[in-house]
Amino acid sequence: MKKHKLPIILMFVSPALLCYLLVFFYPTIRTTFMSFFNIKNIMDGVHKWEFVGLDNYIAIWKSDLFVQSMINFIKIWFFGGIIVFVIAMLMSVILTSGIKGKSFFRAVIYLPNVVSAVAMGTMWIQYVYNPKYGLFKTLFEFLGLENLAAIKWTTPDNIFWAMLIAFNFGMVGYFMLIYISGIERIPATFYEAATLEGANIFVKFYRITLPLLKGVIKTTLVLWTISDVGFFVWSQVFSMLNPVPGTVTPMVYMYQSIFGNNMIVTDRNVGLGATVGVLLMVIVVIVFALTNLLIKEEDVEF
């Protein structure tokens, strides 16, 4: 690189580098530093912080509520991920198969993503899960499934699955669009050649579509993990005042540790919340590393 080009390169790189340092790097370092202190109020100066070493990292695992939040997080990631990815992939394959009304169906499936999560959650609670006139009750009664119609979806025993169903309903459209963009990049000649050789739709999917979508699947796994790590609004909608254990996620626990004052979390400790933040960041990094390690992309140019 010629020396006279260095100032030009720095001029173009500096805004992005500055944003990265201010918006990501500095908060990350500060949050990690805070996780080693007991901090009563987020506005406290550094001179009021009490150094506790690794005590916060030990304390979170002794908290039943935090352990429950991690269990909820894993269940959302695993069960929710399977449901969302399977349905999103199925919808994307159908919509790229040449059916009529593709734009209409794509817009309808994606529509929940343009509606506020608060509005969507309220709609599910009031009009879908309502035990008197909700959609599920009416539908199951019409089908003669009395046991399913009698389920009280928003009781503490069922509220996690009710929340998960509602959350997945909104996420399918988002990942469907990502898969559609990946499928549309695959040349049509690949499918035409497979058709001439007698391959059916399932063979085409497993031999062409799925292998050439590995890069997209890796991206969606990381995006899904990030969206689960930030799972907060839906929990708040389904248990507004005092968190119900079935709806608590690590992000909710972190918020309650920093700002909360309710019947479940009464002792504020900003350092404890920072510890949860560090743990969530590590989870995202681990998932990113594992997806790159386990899912290898073939060197195929198309």
- 41-62 tens-digit pLDDT: 888 888 888 999 899 999 999 8
In whole angstroms, what separates CA 1 from the centre of its chain?
A: 42
Rounded to 5°, angle at Cα 130 from 125 and 131: 145
Q: Please, what is the average pLDDT of the chain?
A: 87
Alpha-carbon dihedral of residues 281, 282, 283, 289, nearest 10 degrees? 110
Question: Which residues is 3 bridged to in the sheet?
Answer: none
Residue 111 corresponds to which amino acid? L
**Please, which residues have CB within 8 angstroms of residue 177's CB and are 6 or more apart in sequence?**
92, 106, 110
pLDDT of residue 281: 93
pLDDT of residue 41: 83
pLDDT of residue 265: 64
CB-CB contact of 96 with 180 (8 Å): yes
pLDDT of residue 156: 85
Give the closest residue to 182 by CA, choosing from 213, 207, 211: 213
Residues of the chain falling short of pLDDT 50: none
pTM: 0.85
pLDDT of residue 90: 93
Give me the half-sphere count of Cα atoms (radius 13 Å) on the Cβ side of residue 236. 13
pLDDT of residue 3: 62
Q: What is the CA radius of gyration of the chain?
A: 24
Give the closest residue to 58 by CA, choosing from 36, 26, 85: 36
| Helical spans, DSSP H, in 124-158 | 135-142, 146-149
Instruction: Give the relative orientation of helices 64-75 and 250-258 as an angle to the nearest 10 degrees.
Output: 150
pLDDT of residue 12: 86
